[in-house]
Structure 1
Amino acid sequence: MTPSILAPYLELPSRDLAATKRFFHAVFGWQFTDYGDAYTAFDSNYNLGGFYLADKVSHTSSGACLIVLYSKHLESTRQKVIDSGGLISVDIFTFPGGRRFQFTEPGGSELAVWTDQ
């Protein structure tokens, strides 16, 4: 039997779904479909998932999993994050295999962006 490869469906908390949607659309071009007032699904060309309304958010300081997105243009993506209301939580650093930074989106959850360039 050949094992199936499944793409993950990620669900992240947000304290402010409208701000989260505006941010990810502006920075990454994601499209959203709302399912009521407390959930919105996203569809980027590479990822599927959603954001749900919650008081608690996903942050590495509390032991949460870090979602890492890829960008060919790390510095310009970093600037878009800032310009769109995101806060840089860990600035650009080098690691074996590339460079990355971490940010908190306006709904409160922390993610990262990396590049191999």
Structure 2
Amino acid sequence: MREDGKLDYLELPGGELDAVKTFYGAAFGWTFQDYGPSYAAFDEGLDGGFDADLEAATKPLPVLFAHDLEAMAARVEAAGGRIVKPIFAFPGGRRFHFRDPAGNELAVWSET
């Protein structure tokens, strides 16, 4: 059930939708519902947080989860993503950042 004040949706620039859908499908197994020629929706779960370091957090940063971070980094690259911050440790685990075909920066994290 949806609740007032809860994060409910994340909308990102898509650029060339076919390339973006192919990338997220290959890297993460996402599926899409097309709504006309210029919009593709996904339903893949969502939590969130705020980063007080304004140097590091100048734009929204969607963060995905992976049990095997190295394997996921390889999948991202094989699907056409570009790693922009290699795997590093942070309080709570490890993560890497990448850019998708539309230029959006995302991160993938793991507890180990």
Q: Percent identity?
A: 47
**Secondary structure in structure 2 of the residue aligned to 1:78:** helix
State the alpha-carbon separation in 1 of the partners of residues 82 and 95 from structure 2.
14
State the alpha-carbon separation in 2 of the partners of residues 87 and 77 from structure 1.
12
1:94 equivalent in alignment to 2:97: no
Task: Please identify which structure carries the higher strand content.
Answer: 1
State the alpha-carbon separation in 2 of the partners of residues 23 and 63 from structure 1.
24
Please state how far the C-alpha of 1:107 moved relative to its aligned partner. Answer: 1.6
- The residue type equivalent to 1:83 in the other structure is A
Q: Count how many residue pairs are aligned between Structure 1 and Structure 2.
A: 101
1:70 equivalent in alignment to 2:65: yes
In structure 1, runs of 5+ residues without a counterpart are 48-59
Give the alignment's Cα RMSD to 1 decimal.
Answer: 2.0
In the superposition, the TM-score normalised over structure 2's length comes to 0.82
**Secondary structure in structure 2 of the residue aligned to 1:79:** helix
In structure 2, runs of 5+ residues without a counterpart are 47-54
In the superposition, the TM-score normalised over structure 1's length comes to 0.78
CA 1:21–1:64: 2 relative to 1, 3 Å: same
Q: Which residue in the other structure is 1:32 paired with? A: 32
